[in-house]
Amino acid sequence: MESRLTDLEIKVAFQEDLIETLNLAVARQQQQLDLLQAQFRALYQQVRTSASTAAESNPQHEIPPHY
C-alpha cells in the first residue's frame, strides 16, 4: 500500500511539472502570436497607405484636363 501511494505521489509530481512546462510554452506562444498580430497590423497599414498614395500619384487614375 505504501509503495502504491509513493508511485501516485511521483506521478502527480511529474504531471505538475509537465503542466507547468506546457503552461509556459502556451504563454510564450501567446506572446509570439500577439507580436505577430501587431506586426501584421502595422504592415497592413503600411500597405494601405502606400497603395492609396500610389493611386493618388498614378497619372492613369487622374482625369484628363479636357474633362
2-18 exposure pattern, b = at least 16 Cβ within 10 A, e = fewer: eeeeeeeeeeeeeeeee
H helix intervals, the chain: 2-57
Provide long-range contacts, Cβ within 8 A and 24+ apart, for 9-15: none
Position 65 confidence tier, pLDDT thresholds 50, 70, 90: confident
Position 58 confidence tier, pLDDT thresholds 50, 70, 90: low
31-50 exposure pattern, b = at least 16 Cβ within 10 A, e = fewer: eeeeeeeeeeeeeeeeeeee
Residues 12-53 pLDDT 10s: 999 999 999 999 999 999 999 999 999 999 999 999 998 888
